[in-house]
Amino acid sequence: MVPASLIEEAARAIAARLPLVALTGAGISVESGIPPFRSPGGLWEKFDPAVYASIEAFRRDPSKYWSIRGDFIRRLDDFIPNPGHIALAELERAGLLRHLITQNIDGLHQKAGSRSVTELHGSLREIFCLACNRRYHAPHIPPGTPPRCDDCGGVLKPNTVLFGEALPAEALERAIQEAATCGCLLVVGTSAVVQPAASLPRIARGNGALVVEVNLERSPAGAELFLEGAAGVILPRLTDALRGSIRLRQSKGTRHGEDPPRNL
């Protein structure tokens, strides 16, 4: 159990270093019941990703990918955001979180109400036609394995990054720019070993930002402040403490003519 004093210290440090940007990984979704794909018991232990989810395999035979995706995507609607996702959405609404970068493809941040989100690995909720680029939104996908575009009969591809595929350039660029210009990077539930999640904390720190980590175990993110525990437990506490710290700074700061944050 992280002591209240450490949460308060983190909140004070973050309040002094806005704007805040968050980087989230599989850990936060595990708390909503989604097993990390790469972990023991995860999807890629049952199905070899080289066969089922690499871009080469998909180009050769998309039906392999679509044969395992159906079950997973049907369950996707059953998963709901946990208090960690909800706290991050609240921070955004309060004008305290400028942007959220996620490695997750499950859409739970948006379901919780987050709006300013970069999905580094794409989204399971979107599918597009490789021939005509028409977009489909899950779970409304044409039937069949592989499903074919209603308009042109082209092969449909998920808008997620498959193994061997490059990250979407626009998302990567936005993530780097957010990390380079934030005052504090809040790293949540990522092992920070897969690129670019591994380098974003370094970019933030290199530009003078504070790095705060919420995780079950300390990652190589090199955070100055580490809050050990589940995101669903720590983030609501941190959000409350942060609101308190901001109000305190606001009552002192207004005297010095600072702009108070919105919607506290």
- Rule CB under 5 A: is residue 141 a binding residue for Zn ion? no
For the question of residue 256 being annotated catalytic, the response is no
Q: Mark the segment that binds Zn ion (CB under 5 A) among 28-36, 53-61, 145-153, 169-177.
A: 145-153
Report the greatest alpha carbon distance in the chain: 66
Residues contacting residue 153 through CB under 8 Å, at least 6 positions apart: 131
Under 8 Å between Cβ of 148 and 129? no
- Work out how close the CB of 152 gets to Zn ion at its nearest, in angstroms, rounded to a whole number: 4
- Rule CB under 5 A: is residue 149 a binding residue for Zn ion? yes
- Work out how close the CB of 166 gets to Zn ion at its nearest, in angstroms, rounded to a whole number: 22
Q: Mark the segment that binds Zn ion (CB under 5 A) among 49-57, 94-102, 113-121, 129-137.
A: 129-137
- Rule CB under 5 A: is residue 61 a binding residue for Zn ion? no
Residues contacting residue 4 through CB under 8 Å, at least 6 positions apart: 237, 241
Token code pair at residue 253: 């700061």
Among 85, 99, 109, 121, which one carries the catalytic annotation?
Answer: 121
Identity of the amino acid at 119: E
Q: What is d(CA 204, CA 169) in angstroms, rounded to the nearest whole number? A: 19
- Work out how close the CB of 163 gets to Zn ion at its nearest, in angstroms, rounded to a whole number: 24
Q: Which parts of this chain interact with Zn ion (CB under 5 A)?
A: 129, 131-132, 134, 149, 151-152, 154
Catalytic residues: 121
